[in-house]
Structure 1
Amino acid sequence: MTSTDAALPHLVVIGGGFAGLWATRALARAPLRITLVDRSNHHLFQPLLYQVATAGLSAPDIAAPLRHILRRQRNVEVRLGEASAIDAPGRRVTLADGSVLGFDYLLLASGATHAYFGHDEWAAHAPGLKSLDDALHLRRQLLLAFERAEACDDPAERAAWLSFAIVGGGPTGVELAGTLAEIARHTLKDEFRRIDPSSARVRLVEAGPRVLASFPEELSEKARRQLEKLGVEVSTGVPVTAIDEGGYRLGEEYVPARTVVWAAGVAASPLARSLGVPLDRAGRVPVDPDLSVPGHPHVFVAGDLAAVQRADGSPVPGVAPAAKQMGRHVAAAIRARLQRRDASAFRYRDFGNLATIGRMAAVVDLHGFKLSGLLAWWFWLAAHVFFLIGFRNRLVVLLNWAWAYWSYQRAARIILGGQGDDGPPAPRT
């Protein structure tokens, strides 16, 4: 670094997800020094994370090293580390290794973690899906369940191993349930000698009145029917009240099940608490219209960590398009600060909702233009391939999906880890 570079204003970006990465890339030609800090060395395309968990894709298919993505952006330094505290008035970020980064501007985009609604003890028995570590652990757990059932002599115990529950009827829960049913009924066909994988019970549990509550009711009902056609039991209107190593309690009914997956809720990264500002009920930071923190105009929050309202008063959803838009807006706001101009207010452009249910089954809502079934599935596939980072990722994902479509096979069906690796990944705090 030259002395001229060192004199430039310093932007620290915490989080290499959609918001952090899109802001960083939008500032490629800005007169700034940028330090991007992330606990992982890669950017992850989270909408396809469930495909890694269900053995349809490998980890590198939906992730790319941050250093490689930013290799030609000369004003960026990538730092592998975890932020542990923020001193907003003092303009300092402390990392878990004890090192301190000073900043002129800060973008906090550290995302969200699992929320168990006051029952954190459930995490040990019902893993969630937010990182590649989560996905690889879940893949191991799902595939091992069939292996354990094959080796089991007790019919009741075998049935428990072949009982799967996904808690949460949002897009992630729907996608997981539909894909798991396809694995049991098609992918594993004829591969076992003592069990029939198609007898596996896959149940999607939603405490609310319907699955995909953010979609129009018409599409929600079509999604339910498509799930049931795949063999998924859809349970709505009754919450899960307990989860342990043997199963879960649905209302007053206890259901033996050795595999429960949590897709019911998220909470903001606890790092937001160190800002010392009021947070909303989900732990998110209510921000000013330009996405800066009230009282700290040099600190910005974007992505799942930001509590932002649309013009009609409804919250901006925690989805990838919103995070990308916030990242680009923060970049524009920082440029305005550098030029001593007022930054404009953030306005979210909602392009619609997509969710896939399974093979040739999906639902699409584009502001009144609704699709379901095969056409929706092709639309969903094209959209997700298009938004992947890098030509290699797009090509590999497209080839893997084409192979899975014709053969019903899933290319990444390898169980990794040793006998002592059955526990969930360490929590991300």
Structure 2
Amino acid sequence: MPEPTPLADMDRTPAPVGSAAHVVIVGAGFAGLAAAQMLGKSKVRVTIVDRRNYHLFVPLLYQVATAALSPADIAAPIRRVLAAYPNIDTVLGEVTGVDQGTRRVLLADGGYLPYDRLILATGSMYDYFGHDDWAAHAPGLKTIDNARTIRARLLKAFEQAEIEADPVRRDALLTTVVIGGGPTGVEMAGTIAELARYTLANDFRRIDPRWAKVILVEAGPRLLANFPGDLPAYATATLAGMGVELRLNTRVENIEAGVVTAGGQRIAAATIVWGAGIRAQPSAAWLGAETDRLGRIKVKPDLTVPGAAGVYALGDVAGLDQDGAALPALAQVAKQQGQHLGRSLRRLRRGKPLKDRPFRYRSRGDTAIIGRSSAVFVMGPLRLKKTLAWMMWALVHVYLLIGFDKRASVAGQWAWRYLTQERGARLIDM
């Protein structure tokens, strides 16, 4: 019987096909997946590697956290998404480094992936501004585990409040603090307020869920600071009308189990959600590349990494200025970059240099939902709010989902929730 091949120090790619160049993509988020799909059915050999076996629609994670959707509604297996492309191979693994001398991507299990071209699309993580210990008490929304943790804490707090005799402790259980006044914070605060005041309103006997307090803390002077005109003021007034307590110009000084200290005041809260800032995953260290203040790899207009031959960076891990401002960490930016680079690399042949093709981002609209029939939407000079903006928000997010089944499922659940105020994913599973 032959000896088994050792796992360590093995090439994880399939056997070469002819003289096709090999592109390795690290990360199956919006950027990595878009690049892979654009290279599908080409003569370029592609391997995409991710530590998870699914593509996650991160912009809708807050709906998992607030029991509106289940994780399966916004996640799709990478292998299934790319199954139609025979030139693409998928590897489940964790990347630990890049050896530029031998052009190898190093894996945690001791294996490696040789490459001719390398695309880093590793995404971002929440930035706790030097207080990483806060993450255990105030999770952000970057993973399914994050969303499930928040959902469990939120729903469990109502269950515990139902049997709590001490009014002070009960008030703390019914208090949620959301930190950060950007789109994530605004969406979370509004959705939690609706959950308490409508979905759970008739489900308890000893408490009234409408007693719940939602506090939104923002260090700056206004919400949705990157939105123009009167849209931030509209968001502020709408949240206030929903009963959300707004604390602007208020900095968080400390977070511990069940307590947030902000603006010199201690706030007892059973559920704390972080949405105050992000930074790039530390992929730059693999290359020794120059980064910006958010840890993003500074790339050239064609998305190449200076000083790293054959390496590109995309999405939240790439720092690129356009018209004097840094491109935002948005799904549509990442997807457009992936498509742009994929089109360029389709022409790749071993030994034949590529033409520099600068990337140009074209906004398809920036949007944030506030509550039922309330949202803001901006695209160029177009500025919408209220119901029309809410409809545009829904269309944009359904469009960006992977697969017709996900789009149909999510659209159907939103329609049902709009009519009934019901949420079908109210499970405490942690």
TM-score bracket, normalised by the shorter chain, equals: over 0.9
User: Which of the residues 303, 307, 313 maps onto 2:324?
Assistant: 313
User: Which of the residues 342, 345, 348 maps onto 1:334?
Assistant: 345
Partner of 2:381: 368
Partner of 2:426: 413
User: Which of the residues 138, 150, 174 maps onto 1:162?
Assistant: 174
User: Which of the residues 356, 359, 363 maps onto 1:346?
Assistant: 359
User: Which of the residues 82, 105, 112 maps onto 1:70?
Assistant: 82
CA separation in 2, counterparts of 1:278 and 1:3?
34
CA separation in 1, counterparts of 2:377 and 2:65?
23
CA contact (8 A) 2:252 2:260 kept: yes
Is residue 2:339 matched to residue 1:324?
A: no
- 3-state SS, counterpart of residue 415 of structure 2: helix
- 3-state SS, counterpart of residue 335 of structure 2: helix
Partner of 2:218: 206
Shift of 1:239: 0.8
Counterpart residue identity of residue 385, structure 1: V
TM-score by length of 2: 0.94
| Cα separation, partners in 2 of 1:2 and 1:236, compared to 1, 3 Å | closer
CA contact (8 A) 2:284 2:290 kept: no
CA RMSD of aligned residues (A): 1.5
Is residue 2:390 matched to residue 1:377?
A: yes
Partner of 2:3: none
The percentage of counterpart residues that share the same residue type is 48
- Specify every segment of 5 or more residues in structure 1 that has no aligned partner in the other structure, as ranges: 418-429
Counterpart residue identity of residue 331, structure 1: G
Is residue 2:8 matched to residue 1:8?
A: no
Counterpart residue identity of residue 65, structure 1: P
- 3-state SS, counterpart of residue 283 of structure 2: helix
User: Which of the residues 170, 186, 190 maps onto 2:198?
Assistant: 186
CA contact (8 A) 2:27 2:122 kept: yes
Is residue 2:417 matched to residue 1:401?
A: no
| Cα separation, partners in 2 of 1:65 and 1:3, compared to 1, 3 Å | closer
Shift of 1:315: 0.4
Counterpart residue identity of residue 27, structure 2: G
User: Which of the residues 266, 271, 291 maps onto 2:283?
Assistant: 271
CA separation in 2, counterparts of 1:2 and 1:59?
31
Alignment of 1:62-101 (within 5 A): 62-101=74-113
Shift of 1:4: 5.9
Per mean C-alpha deviation after superposition, the further-off stretch among 335-344 and 73-82 is: 335-344
Moved over 2 A (4+): 1-4, 332-341
Is residue 2:68 matched to residue 1:56?
A: yes
Is residue 2:286 matched to residue 1:286?
A: no
Shift of 1:352: 2.4
CA contact (8 A) 2:283 2:317 kept: no
CA separation in 2, counterparts of 1:209 and 1:351?
27
- 3-state SS, counterpart of residue 279 of structure 1: coil
1:104-149 Cα distance to aligned partner (Å, 9 max, x none): 1100001011110011111111011001121111111111111111
Counterpart residue identity of residue 234, structure 1: L
Shift of 1:337: 4.8
| Cα separation, partners in 2 of 1:127 and 1:6, compared to 1, 3 Å | farther
Counterpart residue identity of residue 92, structure 1: R
Is residue 2:35 matched to residue 1:23?
A: yes
1:45-103 Cα distance to aligned partner (Å, 9 max, x none): 11111111111011111111111111110001111111111122321111111111111
CA separation in 1, counterparts of 2:236 and 2:99?
47
CA contact (8 A) 2:137 2:255 kept: yes
CA separation in 2, counterparts of 1:215 and 1:243?
29
CA contact (8 A) 1:89 1:296 kept: no
CA separation in 2, counterparts of 1:325 and 1:355?
20
Shift of 1:306: 0.1
Counterpart residue identity of residue 195, structure 1: I
- 3-state SS, counterpart of residue 281 of structure 1: coil
CA separation in 2, counterparts of 1:330 and 1:341?
11
Shift of 1:2: 8.7
| Cα separation, partners in 2 of 1:3 and 1:400, compared to 1, 3 Å | closer
Is residue 2:117 matched to residue 1:105?
A: yes
Partner of 2:370: 357
1:191-234 Cα distance to aligned partner (Å, 9 max, x none): 11121110111011110111111101410000111111111111
CA contact (8 A) 1:336 1:343 kept: no
CA contact (8 A) 1:290 1:333 kept: no
| Cα separation, partners in 2 of 1:275 and 1:212, compared to 1, 3 Å | same
Is residue 2:237 matched to residue 1:225?
A: yes
CA separation in 1, counterparts of 2:100 and 2:169?
54
Partner of 1:423: none
- 3-state SS, counterpart of residue 236 of structure 2: helix
CA contact (8 A) 1:337 1:343 kept: no
CA contact (8 A) 1:6 1:33 kept: no
CA contact (8 A) 2:290 2:297 kept: yes
| Cα separation, partners in 2 of 1:159 and 1:99, compared to 1, 3 Å | same
1:144-191 Cα distance to aligned partner (Å, 9 max, x none): 111111121111111111110110011111111000000000000121
CA contact (8 A) 1:88 1:299 kept: no
CA contact (8 A) 2:58 2:141 kept: no
| Cα separation, partners in 2 of 1:239 and 1:327, compared to 1, 3 Å | same
CA contact (8 A) 2:344 2:357 kept: yes
Partner of 1:302: 314
Is residue 2:192 matched to residue 1:177?
A: no
CA contact (8 A) 1:81 1:96 kept: yes
